[in-house]
Structure formats: C-alpha cells, structure tokens
A and B are shown apart, each in its own frame.
Chain A
C-alpha cells in the first residue's frame, strides 16, 4: 500500500512535536518544583537563622563569663522535602563582604539553595560562628552529647537517623562565646 509522502512528514512532525512538548512540559514543571523547593529551603534557612540570633541573645542574658555554659535548642524542621534530603550549612563570608548566613540546599541538587542572613556582620563582633571543628558539647542530665558541625543533613528515615535531632547551640567560656548548629541523638 502506498503512503503519501505528506502523511509520512506529518506523522513524523507530530511525533517530534509530542516529544518536544513533553520535554518542555517536564522542564517547566521541574523549574516550578525547584522554585517551590527554594521557597521551602528559604523558610528552613530563615528558621535556623532566627534560632541562631535568639540563642546568641539568650546567651548574653544567661552566660557567666567565669564558667562554661551551654545552651541548646532543638529545631522543628521537616524530615525531608518531598522525599528528598537537604542540608543546612553555616557560612561566614565576612571577609568577602557577604557576612554570615545560613544556607539550606538539596543534597541531590546543590544548585537549588536558599540563604538567610544572620544579623551579625562584623569580624569585630564579640561572638564567633562555629563554621569549623568544635568539640562535642555535654547536655545536662543526658549522657549523649551534641555533635557540633558547620553542616547538618536531614532526609528520609532510611538514609538519616530519625532519632538524631538538629539543634542550634551557644557556648560561653574562656574566649569569645560561640554559636553554631549540630546534631544531638536523644535518649542517651
């Protein structure tokens, strides 16, 4: 049976259009999803930054410079973002002129991130953000310790331990007071 050439061209063009439309739709929906993810990440970053500012001010009221004091606050954050793991990082880019901020990003796609500024913008400010190693912190009446870190992860239960809680902490002792984030495995 002979098939007219215009039918062949038309069918091929239609198939190409369907594939193209499918791809365009997938790209558009993924950009909308990334945008929604960024909003979620921004809210997480804002919440962590707010808690860092609050705990550092609380330390000002509660601390006694002659003895070590540690304050810890557990954060109520989502376990994951629609099944995806995310990370929270504290960055100090004061020397680059960007100040200190909290960054929340998707572990699988770290180009999808959101930042929230911490309202401390000076190298001369008498408070240090723990963006590097810091020894474990004791928790009163608990045997388990808080593990400070500049970056913490949250995600599906099968990947990350759900008993582990993300915390913000503040510590005052000899030298500058410090604030940071970390993880604490409860029930110790």
Chain B
C-alpha cells in the first residue's frame, strides 16, 4: 500500500467518527428540548402549588406589619383560616406586600426565590390579572360614565355582564363620606353600558364599579382625572388594618365592601364607618372587614379624599421592569382575593443550564 492510501483510510475513519457523533448529537437534541420543557412545566406546577395553596410562615405575614421579609420562614399567598380553608383563595395583604406597599414592607423577588428554594437557578414573574377588562370613561362633565367590559382572552366584548356602581363623595366643607344610590345596568352586545349618577358637585369623589359575569366578579375604582390633577383625591397604601399616608387623616374612615345577595343575585356596595387611631403613623383602623375593597378617609391637612384600595392586579418579576417573558413557561390558575376573581399567571424560566 502506498502512504496516501493509509492517509485516505485514516481520514475516512475519522470522518465516520465525526459524522456519527454529529448524527447522535442531532438526534438527541429534540428529545432533550422536549424533556427540558417538560421539566420546566413540572417545576412551574410545583411553584404554583406552593404559592397559591400555602399560607406561608408566619401564616399572617401579609397583615402583620411587624413581620419583615427576613422574618419569613416560608412563602405562600393563600388565605389562612383557623377553622375553614378554601383552595385558591388568596390573602390580598400578602399579594399587596409583593410590590404595592411601602418599600420597607415589600418582599423582594430574591427573598421569594430563596424561600422557594430556587436560588439563582430560575427566574419567575407572577402576574395577577382581571379576568374581565373593565374600561371606564367620562361621557360628559356630569357623572355619567360609559363602562366597557371585555374578556382578558382576546379582548372580546362581554355582553350581558351585570354592572353595579355607586359613587362615594365628600361634599364641600364636610368631612362625611356620602354614598349615592346604587345603580345597575347590563352590558349590550358591544360590551358597553352607561351608568348615570346625575351631577355630583364635589370633586372629592370616587366611583366603585362591580362587574359580574356568571359568578366571575371584577371590582374597579374610578377617579376623575380632574380630581387627581387638583389633588382632591389621593391614593394611599393599606396593609392589614394599617393605612400608610403622608398626610394625617381624620378620625373616621369609610370602608367599602361589595356583597352579593344570594337570593336575588343582586350586588350591594356598602360603606360602614370605623374609627382610626391617628396618634401614630401608620394609622390603625380599629376594625377592617376581611372583604373590604377600599377605605376612604378625608385628610386632616389638606381636606383631600384619601383612597386606599386592595386591588391586587400587578406584575411581580425577578427581572425589574420586564413585562415580556419570551423564553418562559407560563401556567395560570383562577384565584379569588377579597371576593374578586383574578387570573394568577406564573412565568418561569431557567437562569442556568
């Protein structure tokens, strides 16, 4: 044999090795991809179960403001009850502590990842969305509003949704908070309906709108743009029984609760008054109904109407400012918080491979 023939045989053998190696790698890649997606799915289910069904430890960490993030022993958002427990019922105070609260009381994503034992292996984003998108617009200078209801899935209009609304206002030169009559209407085929309260003179007012569609309830608050611009209405934070406000409030607060009459199916938007301890900040309400949607109180300093809501719609992410998660696996559940229905959506992605 000539030297070139040996060389040719050697090149052929090495080529066969390389070719087979590439083929094996190529064949195993799709299986690997599927397997990794399946693992991410199971991990997402595991995390979602822990977040939505476990109350965390201490169990009242949402409303107990003496519990800081370093005191948490386990993370979970479920409502804790000594006698009765319901699956997928969340404590709104725990959700509010994720990012709609005072910075000193917020629970950071890195703490959550550590409490879930995920370390730096995964990134998460947790979204709380309304299942019904409720749009409210002013149709004139008077208190006549156009309410539009559409589905979170595809934005399709929702016809026949039961809309109940009531305005609460503090008349000029008064510290009392007065509610109008409750108004009902049903959305038309285009998903819209009109709610007319006539003309309420005061700028210190807020509309509470409860939308029900076959048991799925979304409650929204609406403040006119003019009232916000003129600082007649200001939003403040609430956590448990504590009100966080830069200005000192008056001693009497109105708590807004939305209830459904089980016999007639009609919604009621009630307000009850309770006293507030204004001696020290944060200001403590002497009682708060667990289903309170909002607390209204007049400011002692500038007479503005202070509004604190327990609306939990938000996005909480381990990547700050990120609203899109293209490489993540998403999983969602329907949950109830404070009597309202929400969609809880978890996005999970790997930070390392």
* A interface, CB within 8 angstroms of B: 6-7, 10-11, 13-14, 17-18, 21, 24-25, 28-29, 32, 35-36, 39-40, 42-43, 46-47, 49-50, 53-54, 57, 60-61, 99-101, 116-122, 124-126
Contacts and interface: CB of A to CB of B under 8 A. Distances in A.
B282 to A, nearest CB: 27
9 contacts: A6-B3, A13-B10, A14-B9, A29-B24, A35-B28, A61-B53, A118-B117, A122-B73, A125-B74
Contacts of A116: 43, 46
Contact of B118 (A13, A40, A117): A117
B53 A57 contact: yes
Contact of A117 (B1, B20, B85, B117): B117
A130 to B, nearest CB: 18
Nearest to B35: A39
A176 to B, nearest CB: 12
Nearest to A7: B1
A10 B5 CA distance: 9
A17 B46 CA distance: 50
A21 B28 contact: no
B137 interface: no
A122 B57 contact: yes
A46 B118 contact: no
Contacts, number: 109
A149 to B, nearest CB: 22
B39 A42 contact: yes
B87 to A, nearest CB: 7
Interface in B14-35: 14, 16-17, 20-21, 24-25, 28, 31-32, 35
B334 interface: no
Given A39-B32, A53-B46, A119-B46, A61 B117 contact: no
Interface residues of B, number: 43
A124 to B, nearest CB: 4
Contact of A25 (B21, B36, B50): B21
Given A25-B21, A43-B35, A125-B74, A54 B13 contact: no
A13 B5 CA distance: 13
A66 to B, nearest CB: 13
Which of A21, A50, A101, A124: most chain B CB closer than 10 A?
A50
Contact of B54 (A14, A49, A57): A57
Contacts of A21: 13-14, 16-17
Contact of B46 (A28, A46, A100, A121): A46
B49 interface: yes
A35 B24 CA distance: 12
A114 to B, nearest CB: 9
Nearest to A22: B17
Main secondary structure of the interface of B (DSSP, over half): helix
Interface in B59-95: 73-75, 85, 87
B38 interface: yes
Contact of B24 (A32, A46, A121): A32
Nearest to A21: B17
B343 interface: no
Interface string B197-214: 000000000000000000
Given A6-B3, A50-B49, A125-B73, A60 B32 contact: no
A35 B50 contact: no
Contact of A43 (B9, B38, B49, B55): B38
A10 B115 contact: no
B32 A36 contact: yes
A28 B74 contact: no
Given A17-B10, A50-B46, A32 B28 contact: yes
Contacts of A13: 6, 10
Contacts of A57: 49-50, 53-54
A50 B42 contact: yes
Contacts of B116: 117, 119, 121
Nearest to B52: A57
B300 to A, nearest CB: 42
Contacts of B9: 14
A101 B57 contact: no
Given A10-B6, A32-B25, A43-B35, A119 B13 contact: no
A49 B46 contact: yes
B114 interface: yes
B35 A50 contact: no
B278 interface: no
A53 B24 contact: no
